[in-house]
Structure 1
């Protein structure tokens, strides 16, 4: 992993840990709960990816990720006293950055480990969305990936763009930055204009939705 990709990976961990810590604050969890939620958000997707691919889990090989998560969680507790006053959109923006970064980096790692392109894109999507899913489930919230949000679609776009650009000979750094930008743009546009996918709805004979 080049220096740029390594720093992007660290930045993604910080951003996702921040989003998990902010979510914990909104639901008034204790400091241990803040750290747990920050951790599962930041490393949950990558852990699942590495287990599926049969490689050493990244934070086991490099415990610095755990120290970064702990530091981020503690700084969030110390510096942000009133999480409920933080606009919900800030949490969505932090999550969008983490989603785009991890989706692309997860795809890149899967390809390096010899996974087929289709599998690599799925692994990238899992890397981007699984941590947020675990976070939301622990907070008893329906995960964004299961709602109408354009969420997993943005993660998949990032992986597809990375594969496409790599195939046409772009350097790893250029392909990564471009793919992250594409995924992030789609996610931010969906948030700003409140664009969503159509909901699946069943109407009973009396006209009530279920």
Structure 2
């Protein structure tokens, strides 16, 4: 596999989401098999949806066994060093945010490479960044973060829009990757720190 910055970021995003999934599973006191499954689906869920939607099958992790080895190794390390990263809420948020930022740009870039409309490419980036976390939360019996008041998918959409704009001005791709991923990560960090959220809606007489 060519070690371009794009591929390196894709591997880093896979690692970050694998750790995020493993931490979420350990927080739910799942057994060893459960930890591996949650780590796996969290790290490959978004990329799998992306590849299926654009017709790129077999999907990436099926064609490149290195992803399986990488996810397995990272999950084992997360289990071994769980005592060092057992500030679960903080660690889970951090690795989830890193994965979100990186996978957003890989999704948008994939859309652009396949000559999709910019709006579709941005949507593809948001799906790639969020879908693994959605599966993780559902399997861990939680309402997915994307459906809560917390700004999550919105950060992906803003990052995706930044990617498309920068790409239109023919800026160096590696620079676009870095700027876009940092944009998504920074938005997530700021909105959580200052408790910024989208409005929620509820039916009359429904407890808030």
Pairwise TM-score range, normalised by the shorter structure: over 0.9
Q: How many residues align?
A: 206
Residue in 2 that maps onto 1:39:
40
Residue in 1 that maps onto 2:5:
4
Per-residue CA shift, 1:104-136, capped at 9, x if unaligned? 111101110222111111111000000000000
Q: Is 2:23–2:88's contact at 8 Å kept on the other side of the alignment?
A: no
TM-score normalised to structure 2 length: 0.94
Residue in 2 that maps onto 1:209:
207
Q: Is 2:104–2:128's contact at 8 Å kept on the other side of the alignment?
A: yes
RMSD between aligned alpha carbons? 1.5
Per-residue CA shift, 1:54-94, capped at 9, x if unaligned? 012111121211111011111111221487x4241221111
TM-score normalised to structure 1 length: 0.93
Counterparts of 1:1-210 in structure 2, within 5 Å, are 3-56=4-57, 57-81=59-83, 85-204=86-205, 208-209=206-207
- Runs of 4+ in structure 1 over 2 Å off: none
Q: Which runs of 5+ in 1 are unaligned?
A: none
Q: Which runs of 5+ in 2 are unaligned?
A: none
Cα offset for 1:209?
2.9
